[in-house]
A and B are shown apart, each in its own frame.
Chain A
Amino acid sequence: MKSRKLSMLLAAAIALTAAGCGSSDSSGSSGAGNAPTASSSSSGAAAGAEAPVSITVNCMPPKTNAAQRKTFEEDIAAFQKQYPYITISKATDAFPCYEPRTFEAKLAGGELETVFYVNFPNVGRLMADGQAADITPYTSELKTFADYNSSLDLFKKDGKVYGLPTDGYGMGLVYNKEVFTKAGLDPNTPPKTWAEVQAAAKKIAGLGAGYVGFGEYSGNNVGGWHFSASIYGRGGSVITDDGTKAAFNTPEGKAVLENLKQMRWADNSMGSRLYIDWPALMKAMGAGKMGMMLGAPDVLISLRNDFGGKFENYAITAQPEAKALFNGGAGYMINPKSTPEQIKAGLKWIEFEFLTPGKGQLDYVRAKNADLTVGQPYPDLYGADTPSGQAVVELRKANANIDAAQFAGWVEGSKGIPSKAEPGPYAQEIYKILDTPMSAVLTRQDANIDQLLADAETKVNSLLASKG
């Protein structure tokens, strides 16, 4: 009798486990927080013109970022009120918003959100692999679409549009004003050339133990990413325009590595620690003993919000001697399994939340009142002369609550410098290959730059040839 009861208990437990494994994630079970569904009851009674449609979205700010999360929740409610036939049935807050480790599993399992976030390095790959919906037929419905600057090009392939950038910025030189002052440098006249960067870095390193003049990445693909940003700045390229060959074994590529080698070994101004992933260098910069690093304006906000840096100590200026600026940022794409109605509804959400001056995340009045930073010169999405571009700049200026001077050097110095996109759909593979010369010059005094570039060139050519 006892054993029968035990067996029944076990069977029940197994059945429950199996049911748990197989159950699909319904709205509300994500654990990522549910979107307010103000209109869910009214969606059926929506205006006759539009049929009810349900979508899911991601990149809701996490609970730890309460102020921004509140604005997001308010926006979902307002959006559903404005479009009563659209229901946002689920909003996930998993961080990072784009997670390559789960992306394909979610896509395969039908769990990928209708509207999903993606950062620029992954856009090319998703378009090449057909993992984002073609939104070309629907872009005419977007009011601000015509005002986009060149950042939109990144989301285009063969004349079709596959997504919308919502955050964009060019590279610059981030520096610590306090460290500059300590080293006897003028924080109001940051370096404009690489020779000046080198001299400033040497002075900063001379402050004593723990001080690093200039920090740079060397592994986990971020080394290659910064090599690309540096070579773009010097007027070079990573691959040829047709995307079939490597194009970095040039005087510009050599200059990038020579400069780092000089600073690391002759000047000893880069410290001996290797920064092999994105947070590593950010942590070092946030700790307050590093003088300079390459970075975009969002680095300043991230140093403040995520890495404990004293915001007022940091500033960004233009990338030294820049001839082109590496185009960084992020945007949103639509799940390729979506219906046309869902695509239209998803685009309406992107427009409402990220692309309408004075609304959603561009509602700077609300952001200011919520004590969120306003005044940073990004997202840089619209052409300067377009109505949307002008509206965003004016709103931002009128509600700024941070010192615009911290970004002024970057804004002024970057004017007129063209932006340049990631090196094609195989950017990550190329970055991995370029990690090698970066790590070599930072770890070996006898690193042979010509050889390193030639080896990397062979590898990239072989990679591109294999991709056809």
Chain B
Amino acid sequence: MTTASTPVAGRKQRQPTKLRRSVKRNLTAYGFLCGALICFAFFSWYPMVWEVILSFQQTNFVDPAVWVGFENFRTVFNDPVFAPAWINTAMFTLLALLCGYAIPFVIAIVLNELRHARAYLRFIVYLPVMLPPAVGVLLFQWFYDPDYGLFNQILGIFSLPGLQWLNSTSTALISLVIVSTWSNLGSGTLIYLAALQTIPSELYEAAELDGAGLFKRIRHVTIPQTKLILLVMLMLQIVATMQVFIEPYLLTGGGPEDATVSVVYLMYQYAFNFGNLNAGNALGLMLMIVLMVFSAIYLRLSRDNTV
């Protein structure tokens, strides 16, 4: 008994020592990790858990909450603006991807190819990011003014008729896409530029020796070499653009005729203007699930890519 118990006791004694040593060695790292974990727990996970709970409840924050099952989901689903909000959001995401995904990549390639004034141009491209988002958006309110706006004045120089921009159901959404693309251009371009600069120049030289022109070099060298960052950016952009809010909130109020109501804008309406926080949470949960699907696809794709 004594002999059998001795190694176990010894292990028990050694284990805490080993653990303690390991903890001691990584104390600073754990400290940093704790900070991040506390921040995430308080400001991300805790609200997310509450969002899920509230979406199945009816509460006035005075009396005890009542579980109502899928009632809040039914409320938002039966809202006549529910379908237009999802269609508008999908359209915005698609258009924002077409513009906001391709344009920064092209600009990054051009900047990367430039030999002169590169830093200056990089600064110019990044400048919109430095503006507070609301300021940038409100600047476009003036640009889009049908009577005195910058855009219609430019069209006038070329003897083209002015557009109604935000005032027309056919141009309002694309007008918001332009604002969004302009606001986020700098960040996207900078990330692409960083990725482009990691591509070994030998690859381009070899391609040139093989007679590859500009487009072939982009297709066979640039795109494959930046595939991972392109994928990351694609996913980030889908997640970000599907949460479009500030542009319709500040520029159109969801109009004209609900042409720019987005899912998050509708969520805001429920939570803060209609006083129905629970229905707003239900809508938020629906959006979260959709975004989780996209994120899962991204994780799958990036895993395949790294393997």
Contact = CB atoms under 8 A, between A and B. Distances in A.
Contacts of B32: 10
Contacts of B27: 3-4, 7
Given A129-B275, A274-B166, A17 B38 contact: yes
Q: Is the interface of B mostly helix, strand, loop or mixed?
A: loop
B257 A131 contact: no
Interface in A1-21: 3-4, 6-7, 10-11, 13-14, 17-18, 21
A330 B276 CA distance: 21
Nearest to B162: A272
Nearest to A9: B31
B257 A6 contact: no
Nearest to A456: B80
A71 to B, nearest CB: 31
A221 B86 CA distance: 20
Nearest to B63: A130
A401 B275 CA distance: 40
B42 interface: yes
B274 A436 contact: no
B208 interface: no
A34 interface: no
Given A122-B275, A221-B273, A276-B252, A130 B257 contact: no
Contacts of A440: 256-257
Q: Is the interface of A mostly helix, strand, loop or mixed?
A: helix
A125 interface: yes
Among B62, B145, B166, max chain A CB count under 10 A is at B62
Contact of B80 (A130, A209, A459): A459
Given A101-B272, A122-B275, A219-B252, A130 B60 contact: yes
A17 B255 CA distance: 42
Contacts of B34: 10-11, 14
A403 to B, nearest CB: 34
A440 B78 CA distance: 23
Nearest to B39: A17
A126 to B, nearest CB: 8
B61 A429 contact: no
A276 B146 contact: no
Given A4-B27, A14-B38, A443-B169, A276 B62 contact: no
A462 B76 CA distance: 12
B153 to A, nearest CB: 13
B257 A432 contact: no
Interface string A416-453: 00000000001011001101100110111000000000
Contact of B253 (A130, A277, A442): A277
A101 B267 CA distance: 12
A337 interface: yes
Interface of B: 27-28, 30-32, 34-35, 38, 42, 60-63, 75, 78, 80-81, 145-148, 164, 166-169, 252-258, 269, 271-275, 277
Interface of A: 3-4, 6-7, 10-11, 13-14, 17-18, 21, 100-101, 104, 107-108, 122, 125-126, 129-131, 209-210, 218-221, 223, 271-274, 276-277, 336-337, 426, 428-429, 432-433, 435-436, 439-440, 442-444, 458-459, 462, 466
List 4 A-B pairs, minimum CB-CB distance, nearest first. A219-B253, A220-B253, A10-B31, A276-B253
18 contacts: A3-B28, A10-B28, A10-B31, A13-B35, A101-B272, A107-B62, A130-B60, A209-B147, A219-B256, A220-B253, A272-B147, A274-B166, A274-B167, A276-B252, A428-B273, A435-B253, A443-B167, A459-B80
